[in-house]
Structure 1
């Protein structure tokens, strides 16, 4: 291996690592606020990429119909809960309406826009909107009633959500893979490295999103409320911060990050209905390496995962996945030896 090959592999690894970093940050975000180890994060990636691929064909993606079904189920759950608590008809209708309005609007726009063959960036924005709305609906349907449960119960629910989304992905998109067109086709030569426009977009989007998340948590009131829940859930509740609203907001952000990651990775690799699992697991490795608590740690670990995967595919392509996932074992061992074991609820 000479310097030029090493440079190409390093650039490829850092590009993939940028996407893994976004997924790692999303997993850390969801866990710190809700205590959910969100295994289906990768499914948002696959749904984002494949929804855009279906829009490219001029058809309505199946994710739109699933969005309407989830919205109806979430609204029914809100109605049932309000009536059970005797809140009255009008509050029940308002609660159900909040679950229906945004999904219905996004779905109607998607159904109208699908055959219009709009430019790529319009279809990409619509794909992100469709997948992002999944976040609060999935939290309401699968997690909200169990928010006081132990992390183990929430993990089991996450496994169920993952299998459900993977199976539905096969129904909506089929077993064939799709590769989306690049958002920027320019190429620049820097020494031995060929830098593509898609790579520049990936790095720029990652840096911009990380900066936006930092500003959101440092400067906005809602961001500080999420930080308060992450630090002390009981204290945040006593101060009037809704854990349910915070959970839905956090899952919305995770869905947005996943959908955006799908658009970034779609032009560089063929995405199948079940590709999100492996992609999400690599983000999960980065999140675990950061202790499911450190955003900078997840960023650095994700870059390391991408570089190791790239060099591993060069030296032993058949074992590249094994090499990446084996990294988690020494990390877990070291953290287990250093940590003070406590009750699960702590």
Structure 2
């Protein structure tokens, strides 16, 4: 291997690592706030890429109907709990309106806009508007009632949610893969390296979102409330911070990050209904490098995973996934020896 090939592989690895970094940050965020190891994070990636692909084809994506069904189920669940606990009807009506307002509005706009072939950036915004609400709705339907359960129970629920979302992805998008057009077709050359406009967009979007998250957690009251919930859930409740609201917001942010990641990688690879699992799993590996607690270490781990995948595919392409996922073993061993702990009860 000469320097030019090493440079190409490093650039490819850093590009992939930038996307894995977003998913790793989302995984750390969800786990820190809710203690949920969110395995279905990658499904948001597939939903985002495939929703945009159907918009490109002039079709109404199945995510429209799925979003409406989840919103209705969430409302029915709230009504059932409200009746059981004798909640005033006016309060129930306001809650139902808040739950349905955005899904109905986003779905109506999507149905109207789908056959009109709007520019790619507009379709991308519509995709984010459709997929981001999935996070809050899935949390309300699958996790909220189990918020105080053990991490193992929450992990089992995550596995079930993952299989359900993969099945719905097959139903709504079919088994055919899609590849989206690039947001920027320009190419730049620097010696042996060739840098595409899409690669620059991936780096720019990743850096912008990481900086936005840093400002959000460090400078805003809502971000500080999420940090407080992550540090001490009981203490946050005593200070008036709703753990349910924190969980919904964390899942919404995770769904937004996943959908954005799907938009970013859609032009670089063909995405299938089940492609999100492997992509999300690599983000999880990066999050484990940070102990599912440190955002900077998760970022470093994601770049390392991207580089390991890139160079591993060069030396042994048939075993690149094995190389990436095997890298988690020494990290787990090191963390287990460094920070031993007892079983959770």
TM-score (norm 1): 0.99
CA distance in 2, matches of 1:186, 1:192: 17
87-96 or 249-258, which deviates more = 87-96
| Structure 1 residue 343: Cα displacement | 4.2
CA distance in 1, matches of 2:107, 2:138: 16
Number of residues of Structure 1 aligned to a counterpart in Structure 2: 345
CA distance in 2, matches of 1:245, 1:82: 17
CA distance in 2, matches of 1:335, 1:344: 17
| Structure 1 residue 336: Cα displacement | 1.1
SS at match of 2:188: strand
Q: 1:208 is matched with which residue?
A: 208
Residues 172-224 of structure 1 deviation map (CA, whole Å, 9 limit, x = unaligned)? 11111100000000000012100100000000000000000000001100000
CA distance in 2, matches of 1:157, 1:110: 31
Q: 1:306 is matched with which residue?
A: 306
Residues 94-131 of structure 1 deviation map (CA, whole Å, 9 limit, x = unaligned)? 12222111111111111111001000000011011110
- C-alpha contact (below 8 Å) 1:79/1:95 kept by paired residues: no
| Structure 1 residue 244: Cα displacement | 0.5
CA distance in 2, matches of 1:79, 1:65: 21
CA distance in 1, matches of 2:115, 2:334: 54
TM-score (norm 2): 0.99
Q: 2:95 is matched with which residue?
A: 95
- C-alpha contact (below 8 Å) 1:289/1:331 kept by paired residues: yes
CA distance in 1, matches of 2:319, 2:220: 44
CA distance in 2, matches of 1:109, 1:43: 23
CA distance in 1, matches of 2:191, 2:326: 34
CA distance in 1, matches of 2:79, 2:98: 11
| Structure 1 residue 162: Cα displacement | 0.3
CA distance in 2, matches of 1:268, 1:259: 15
Q: 1:23 is matched with which residue?
A: 23
CA distance in 2, matches of 1:167, 1:343: 33
SS at match of 1:127: helix
Q: 1:120 is matched with which residue?
A: 120
Instruction: Give structure 1 stretches of 5+ with no counterpart.
Output: none
- C-alpha contact (below 8 Å) 1:128/1:260 kept by paired residues: yes
Q: Aligned pair 1:284/2:284, yes or no? A: yes
Instruction: Give structure 2 stretches of 5+ with no counterpart.
Output: none
CA distance in 1, matches of 2:121, 2:96: 32
Q: 1:338 is matched with which residue?
A: 338
4+ runs of 1 displaced by more than 2 Å? none
